Amino acid sequence: MTLPLEGLAAIVTGAGRGLGRAEALELGRLGAAVVVNDYGQPGRDGSGEASAGPAEEVAAEIRAAGGRATAHTGDVADFQQAAELVELAIAEFGRLDILVNNAGILRDRMVFSMTEGEWDAVIRVHLKGHFNTTHFAARHWRERSKATGAPVYGRIVNTSSEAYLAGSAGQPNYAAAKGGIVGLTTSTALALAKYGVTANAICPRARTRMTEDVFAGFQEPEDGLDPLAPEHVAPLVGYLASPAAERINGQLLVVHGGMVAIVERPHVQAKFDSKQDVFSYDELDAVLTPHYAERPPGETFAAAEVLGLKREPGTG
């Protein structure tokens, strides 16, 4: 039986642990040759010495299961190292078809306490890291398409977060980066559609090194698969990377615990027209103040207004 991703080659960033590891293993199980990227720093804040160990171990695990895999230990937030990652996939497997961006770090703090360095570090790894790999993969696919005069096969799966959708008080840098990733994804989807490439983003909820404190109160079950296990997320990534998902482009999907939700693009909740050439303060007060009268001062929109789903405070 032919596997869904047989003959295709993939890159998964941040694949040495957690979600990235589960995604790399799933793509390998579905038949893809995989470049397992991970910088290998032990701290979830990007601290500690870089190590080839995590990426090498996952690549070895894929090979032990009968698949093809190689490790890359570069920093995807470095423009040149991201270029080398894409070049490695093409050199090792003769092609690149799938890019899964997952690499990230956390440096949590309230906005009034956050340092410039804490902001810059998270934006760099999450948002710039997604851009760097997307840039070089997109350029490769565009050149291939122009050379043949026909569309190519290309799939991008980016990692956003519910922190962007519903806010996360102690993660302004992370939430902003994840929102930027959605904008990058939709822009990329529009730009690359004519070349045969799709780009989608997921908001996963899973128990990983990145979320170990968030889910500290949610104990793993003694029997059966943990509802917060990364293995619940990986199948959606495999599907979005497959030929079956060719009509899915520029979409945002929430996934966790055996549930997938498709998020609509923002839509207008209410609309008010001025009776004059320009709104006056008094006129705005007359229409907007009553509209928000039932909401306590300072309250933001609830997650349910965005997703129609319950979300625990602080979930990734």
Q: Is 60 helix (H, G, I), strand (E, B) or coil?
A: helix
Q: What is the CA radius of gyration of the chain?
A: 21
Say which of 39, 153, 164, 174 is annotated catalytic.
Answer: 174
Q: How far apart are the first and last CA of the chain?
A: 37
**Identified catalytic residue from 161, 168, 195, 242:** 161
161 is catalytic: yes
Q: Select which of 160, 168, 178, 195 is catalytic.
A: 178
**Residue in this structure with the two tokens 């939700």, named with its chain if needed:** 261
Contacts (Cβ under 8 Å, ≥6 apart) of 217? none
To the query of whether residue 178 is one of the catalytic residues in this protein, the response is yes
CA pair distance 231, 299, nearest whole angstrom: 35
**Residue 126 per-residue DSSP state:** I
Query: Is position 174 annotated as part of the catalytic site?
Result: yes
How far is it, in rounded angstroms, from Cα 121 to Cα 105? 8
- Backbone phi, psi, residue 75, to 5°: -95, 110
Name the residue type at position 101: N
The residues annotated with a catalytic role in the active site are 161, 174, 178
